[in-house]
Amino acid sequence: MKMKNSIWNLVWVCLLCSCNSWLDIKLINQSEESELFSTERGFSEALAGVYYDMSAAGLYGQTLSFGMLDVMSRTYDYSRVPNAMKIFRDYDYEDKDMEAYIYSIWYALYANIAAINNILEWSDKNASVLSDARRNQVRGEALALRAMHHFDIYRLFAPDVKLDKDARILPYQLKFGVETPAVYTTQEYLNLVVGDLENALECLKDDPICSVVPYELGNGVDENKDQADQYVARMNYYALSGFMAMAFSTSFSSLSDTDCCLLHPDSTNIDVIIIAILFLICLSWFSFVVKVIFIFYIMLFYREIILVRKIILVLSISYIILISNVLLFY
């Protein structure tokens, strides 16, 4: 009996010892980070993972394109919206399904940002793995994607900067990790978006797409189309330029007061503004004097009372405009 128990104990010990090594087996395509980012291909795969997640139905594959957002913006006929999307049509923010959608969008966008920040950090740690050209391309795409995600978070969850530039609502995630990021005002937040876009544009100034016409690489042959897609199906220089135009047009007032050259008293263009206002005032005075001379001329030589009344009315309006210009200047 003792011999039998000893044998079973030995079997259990062997099983437990081998269990550790069994649990340590790496699953396919789940490499350690240091291993993943040890090659140029690893960086490409990490970026591809970000693009893949962006195409999911919960993000740009549906919800943030032809799904939830298009319904809420009334792109479709109000009466033909499917039942499953009526909560979006009716802006039913208290509905549990709506709350779940909103939470999933917030989570998915920031999860992608975390993956992007990880790529950026490893591009610094393992810079020697990449050629200068490839590193600039990786960093340019990553910075542009980080700005894009943050910009869409602003458009979805923050008040318009024109209405409240000092509202502190959103965190801008600049580092990979579990630390809670700082919460910025809408003004500061958009300035960070602009900063990422400008840095991305600098990195992508030598993007290969600028020197080729992608779909002229082949004549419809599959492998040539795949090669062309490598230039097109990503955040390339032209895609970034288009996105920058949209971001700047939407958030132009994100510029600080000191940057708004036509509004800030410390502006270098203030002299031009003063000269322009003085010119308008002088022009108004000149016009006023001419009208006074003209009315006296009519009264002395033609005695046209009806015409004089009309001229007096015009003169009164001119006088009001003149006074308004003076008040505006002061």
Residue-by-residue DSSP string for 165-187: TT-EEEE---SSSSSPPPEEEHH
Residue 60 lies in a domain: yes
d(C-alpha 148, C-alpha 116), whole Å: 11
Predicted local distance difference test score (pLDDT) of residue 15: 47
In a domain, 242, yes or no: yes
**Given this model, what pLDDT does residue 70 score?**
86
Q: Do 208 and 111 lie in a common domain? A: yes
Q: What is the mean pLDDT of the chain?
A: 75
Q: DSSP letter string over 270-296?
A: HHHHHHHHHHHHHHHHHHHHHHHHHHH
- Tell me if 30 is assigned to some domain: no
* Residue 8 belongs to some domain of the structure: no
Q: Are residues 213 and 134 in the same domain?
A: yes
* Gap between the Cα atoms of 54 and 154, Å rounded: 17
Q: Are residues 243 and 306 in the same domain?
A: no
User: Are 199 and 295 members of one domain?
Assistant: no
205 and 311 part of one domain: no
* Domains identified in the chain, total number: 2
Q: 130: domain CATH number?
A: 1.25.40.390
123 with 214, same domain: the answer is: yes
d(CA 50, CA 54): 6
- Are 45 and 180 in the same domain? yes
94 and 241 assigned to the same domain: yes
Which residue, 220, 253, 286, sits at the end of a domain?
Answer: 253
Contact 298, 290 (CB under 8 A): no
Q: Is the pLDDT assigned to residue 252 strictly greater than 70?
A: no
**pLDDT number for residue 223:** 56
Instruction: Examine the domain organization and report whether 230 and 174 are in the same domain.
Output: yes
Q: Is the pLDDT of residue 199 over 60?
A: yes
Model pLDDT for residues 109-162, shown as the tens digit of each residue: 999 999 999 999 999 998 999 999 999 999 999 999 999 999 999 989 988 888
What single string gives the DSSP state of each residue in 6-75?
A: HHHHHHHHHHHHHHHHHHTPPPTT---HHHHTTSHHHHHHHHHHHHHHHTSTTTTTTTTTTTHHHHHTT-
Residue 198 located in a structural domain: yes
Q: Which of 190, 218, 253 is the last residue of a domain?
A: 253
Q: Is the model's pLDDT at 276 over the cut of 60?
A: no
Instruction: Please tell me whether residues 141 and 227 are part of one structural domain.
Output: yes
Q: Same structural domain for residues 89 and 202?
A: yes
Structural domain boundaries enclosing 318: 270-329
- Structural tokens at position 243: 């996105």
Q: Are residues 221 and 88 in the same domain?
A: yes
pLDDT of residue 255: 44
Domain end call among 225, 253, 281: 253
- 288 has a pLDDT exceeding 70: no
Q: Model confidence over 78-107: pLDDT tens digits?
A: 778 888 888 888 888 889 999 998 999 999
pTM (2 decimals)?
Answer: 0.66
